Amino acid sequence: MLLCRSAINLGRIKYHCTVVTPLRRLCSMSDTTQPPQGYSLPAEVTKAASQWLSTLRPPVTTRGMKVMDESQFHVTVHTKALRVAAKECNAFVTNMRYALLNMPGSVAGFETIGHIAHFNLREDYLPFKEIIGRIVIDKNQHIKTVVNKLGNIDTTFRFFQMEVVAGEKNFITEVKESGCRFQFDYSCVYWNSKLSTEHWRLLETFTKKDVICDMMAGVGPTVIPLISGKFHLYNKCGRQFVRDLVAGYDRADSPVTPFTQVVMNLPASAIEFLDVFIGLFANNHTAPLPTIHCYCFSAESDPEKDVQARVEKVLKYQFTADDPVSIYDVRDVSPLKRMYCVTFSLPPGVAYNTSPTKRAQVEEADTQDGKTKKAKSDHDE
């Protein structure tokens, strides 16, 4: 790395660099050595870095700016440069990155959904949201709209209120995942690009012989990539959807093929809907019992124990060695909460259960807050 009397364009600012050699100690660590958590550079190196980086700050006249004025950025700044031997470049970049990440005041990243950039800005940055949005659009040619999330995802359909901080007010977007194109209104549905790996993991567990029942399909990232032939779409309450499918197994005029896999990708409340499987196959002992993939959240110290206990409570059934439960750690959603996928084969003790007491409990749960649960089951992950 060599910067020698060269001009570097960062935004609208042009930097003229002259070679100096501070920060030599940034190269002292091996590029294969990862600094420990909380790693900080020696004081003298940090001081030199601060002095060096201070020259890269925008002009004083731009500080506190809330409305973009590009003319204020048309300045020339003379700053210093650093000569690093080629063999030390990797170590330098690694250690400089850690130094920069440890500096306070950085804005977190954003998620990209087609042409939309989605931020969760902290309160400290809200006064500067317009400038942040303008910069993102300026530096990313494919971004046309920048939105900021307002509040938590607590609505029935799992989408959230948002505000446009820069660009076009256009929420109709298109994304590619698993070889498919999805087009949707981002302001009305839930989409999380961070779940693409999990969608693909689940897809790889299915075979060509499987028939998938997606109780909470939303936009459909789990099952649409599997579609290559005949398929059926329904817009029903999740519980009623499953009951109607099973009821149609024995009808000659029914297009329904017995499903072998069930996906319940609504982690905030999917476990609540497991009660529909109690006695679901009581009148049909010939149909295959499906494998269920139920998503949920947990913030407990022993999440696997917590998740299994909650599933057992709803099913009124305790799993044994003959019907094991698999719990997969999907991702973290906050520092204290993670998302999990619980996978198990529907036990005969649940599927064929005809206990009047348990059936009454299921029917009561089905009617309680019916409108809310109906809406929840129709939607997303």
Between the alpha carbon of residue 377 and those of residues 126, 217, 358, 372, the distances in Å are: 34, 9, 22, 9
120 is in an annotated binding site: no
Q: Are 21 and 82 in contact (CB under 8 A)?
A: yes
| Residue 222: Cβ-neighbour burial (10 angstroms; 0-12, 13-18, 19+) | buried
Q: Are 147 and 117 in contact (CB under 8 A)?
A: yes
Question: Which residues touch 146 (CB under 8 Å, ≥6 apart)?
Answer: 110, 116, 117, 119, 132, 133, 136, 137, 164, 165, 166, 167
Residue 106 φ/ψ region, left for φ over 0, alpha for ψ in the -120 to 50 degree band, beta for the rest: beta
152 is in an annotated binding site: no
Binding-site members for S-adenosyl-L-methionine are: 199, 265
Binding-site members are: 199, 265
